[in-house]
Amino acid sequence: MATEQNKLPAIISHCKEYGFIFPSSDIYDGLSAVYDYGQWGVELKKNIKDTWWKSMVYMHENIVGLDSAIFMHPTIWKASGHVDNFSDPMIDNLDSKKRYRVDHLIEGFAEQLAANSEEASKAILVSMDQLLSNDDFAGLKQLIIDHKIKCPISGTCNWTDVRQFNLMFSTQLGSVADDSDTIYLRPETAQGIFVNFLNVQKSGRMKIPFGIAQIGKAFRNEIVARGFIFRMREFEQMEMQFFVRPGTQKEWYESWKTTRMQWHLDLGIPAEKYRFHDHVKLAHYADAACDIEYDFPMGFKEVEGIHSRTDFDLTQHQLYSKKKQVYFDNDIDETTGKPYGNYVPYVIETSIGLDRTILLVLSEAYTEEDLSTPEKQDSRVVLKFPNKLAPIKLAILPLMKKDGLSEIAKELMNECRESFFCFYEEKDSIGKRYRRMDALGTPFCVTIDHQTKEDGTVTIRYRDSMEQERINMSDVRNKVMEALK
């Protein structure tokens, strides 16, 4: 049985064995922090995307979607501050030649220290935060030296100075390599939304407040990428930028905090698994920011960021593109009795990592159950996904191939497959097939047997309780549809 400590390795191997997630380029020994989604992973991912899209776009009349390109004009990243600021302080160990994010190295040390002294551990973290907020790199190195923090690989304290390292991947546009042709793989999807703000507002006749939502790939050259799909170099984000009238950003920020936390709770995940982490040190573009953290197998970590980004991005793009990014608000300002007029809108951003959400859902669903009886040792691994996220909704299992049972099963398959994803399987014993469906997280299995031929009933088996009941085959589709609502 996996303990909390080895739950993550257990999830990783389960994902590979059952076709959810594979290391990228597996036959070439993988590519660090890059992963491929297999046949069931891709369904899980799609269901999470659909749930987010539905709740953000379909359920809000004033939010529309966008799919902007990954490649964008390089000046965008100058304007956004990514060329100059999107970097992390790093330090190299001269013996192991390994590079570390300074905050991760110190946090790792503080975590070990906490076993002996909570206070000492907290004190280091407070000093670190102070030094980071002052960009005091010499001070950070001194902190590492003073506490004799060792490289986990070489075990030595032979450190370089602390330096900034930009996280953007660059590449060349066109056939001739030249500095002026350098473009970047986007490190976030947000900027694609900002530079399309007026296109969408004008073509969609959108009135403030309104939002633009986007799901797409982002790329970051993370130095220490670990935690399976928690920190990847190529990942997906689900972001929404909400444009508001200046002065109203505080209330919208609070309102989106509540809405986004509710989305998480609506997945059926208990509230005690989440917490807000309010940022003390704010990014250069923000006037308020927090993370929604989930209790992953490796502890509470960020899954989503909510940021009040002021008018920073639009103002910067106005400056660099020399194109006005203003909105004309003809609503009447009650204090002046006149229209609000032209302004650069403020922005509230909600940004959630799709892959991190998949890890969250897997962590919550992964369950090992001991089913031993005095007569027999037994256990099962079951993924208790919420019904709407389960890759396969219904497995249709004829008891045997012959006697016309597979024909009846295929009839049911044809009746249901337009409404939800069904899986047909006729190999192996029923017991083995049930266990396999448990491991894939399929909430319903239906068995077609000889009695089906006589009275049109089937056995439906429920994943979590493992209970079985006989129902009319003609009711199966509606029963599953009902459960998906």
- Cα 346–chain centre separation: 25
* Spatial distance between the Cα atoms of 304 and 293, rounded to a whole number of angstroms: 7
Residue 393 found at the interface with ligand ATP (CB under 6 A): no
Stretch that binds ligand ATP, among 170-178, 255-263, 348-356, 386-394 (CB under 6 A): 348-356
**Total binding residues toward ligand ATP, as defined by CB under 6 A:** 16
Residue 82 found at the interface with ligand ATP (CB under 6 A): no
Cis peptide before 398 (omega within 30 of 0): no
User: In angstroms, what is the minimal distance from the CB of 233 to ligand ATP?
Assistant: 7
Residue 355 found at the interface with ligand ATP (CB under 6 A): yes
Tokens coding 88: 């992390």
Is 332 buried (19+), middle (13-18) or exposed (0-12) by CB count in 10 A? Answer: exposed
Tell me the residue nearest to ligand ATP as measured from the CB. Answer: 353
Q: HSE-up of 254 (CA within 13 Å, CB side)?
A: 3
Question: x/- binding map, residues 441-460, to ligand ATP, per CB under 6 A?
Answer: --------------------
* Spatial distance between the Cα atoms of 347 and 239, rounded to a whole number of angstroms: 12
Tokens coding 218: 């982002």
User: In angstroms, what is the minimal distance from the CB of 306 to ligand ATP?
Assistant: 9
Q: Is the dihedral of CA 115, 116, 121, 122 positive or negative?
A: positive
What is the DSSP code string of 161-203?
A: --EEEE---EEESSSS--GGGEEEB-S-SHHHHHTTHHHHHHH
Closer residue to ligand ATP (CB): 92 or 304: 304
Residue 313 found at the interface with ligand ATP (CB under 6 A): no
Residue of the chain from 107, 287, 293, 302 that contacts ligand ATP (CB under 6 A)? 302
User: In angstroms, what is the minimal distance from the CB of 195 to ligand ATP?
Assistant: 18
Residue of the chain from 92, 295, 304, 311 that contacts ligand ATP (CB under 6 A)? 304
What is the DSSP code string of 318-370?
A: HHHH-----EEEEEEETTTTEEEEEEPPEEEEEEEEHHHHHHHHHHHHEEEEE
Residue 352 found at the interface with ligand ATP (CB under 6 A): yes
* Spatial distance between the Cα atoms of 341 and 332, rounded to a whole number of angstroms: 9
User: In angstroms, what is the minimal distance from the CB of 380 to ligand ATP?
Assistant: 30
Closer residue to ligand ATP (CB): 356 or 461: 356
Residue 351 found at the interface with ligand ATP (CB under 6 A): yes
Stretch that binds ligand ATP, among 52-60, 317-325, 345-353, 370-378 (CB under 6 A): 345-353
Stretch that binds ligand ATP, among 70-78, 245-253, 303-311, 313-321 (CB under 6 A): 303-311
Residue 294 found at the interface with ligand ATP (CB under 6 A): no
Closer residue to ligand ATP (CB): 276 or 328: 276
First vs last Cα of the chain: how many Å apart? 34
* Spatial distance between the Cα atoms of 211 and 348, rounded to a whole number of angstroms: 9
C-alpha angle 416-387-9 in degrees, rounded to nearest 5: 125
Closer residue to ligand ATP (CB): 125 or 208: 125
Residue of the chain from 89, 216, 297, 305 that contacts ligand ATP (CB under 6 A)? 305
Is 248 buried (19+), middle (13-18) or exposed (0-12) by CB count in 10 A? Answer: middle
* Spatial distance between the Cα atoms of 323 and 315, rounded to a whole number of angstroms: 10
User: In angstroms, what is the minimal distance from the CB of 182 to ligand ATP?
Assistant: 22
Closer residue to ligand ATP (CB): 45 or 356: 356
CA distances from 171 to 70, 81, 137, 179, 222 (A): 12, 18, 29, 10, 17
CB proximity list for 111: less than 8 A, separation 6 or greater:
121
User: In angstroms, what is the minimal distance from the CB of 220 to ligand ATP?
Assistant: 5
Residues 210-239 that bind ligand ATP (CB under 6 A): 220, 222, 231-232, 235, 237
* Spatial distance between the Cα atoms of 128 and 43, rounded to a whole number of angstroms: 41
* Spatial distance between the Cα atoms of 141 and 91, rounded to a whole number of angstroms: 8
Closer residue to ligand ATP (CB): 50 or 302: 302
Residue 398 found at the interface with ligand ATP (CB under 6 A): no
Stretch that binds ligand ATP, among 22-30, 114-122, 261-269, 347-355 (CB under 6 A): 347-355
Cross-strand pairs, 447: 397, 459
* Spatial distance between the Cα atoms of 123 and 110, rounded to a whole number of angstroms: 9
Residue 353 found at the interface with ligand ATP (CB under 6 A): yes
Residue 360 found at the interface with ligand ATP (CB under 6 A): no
Residue of the chain from 186, 309, 356, 463 that contacts ligand ATP (CB under 6 A)? 356
Query: Site residues (CB under 6 A) for ligand ATP?
Result: 188, 220, 222, 231-232, 235, 237, 302-305, 351-353, 355-356
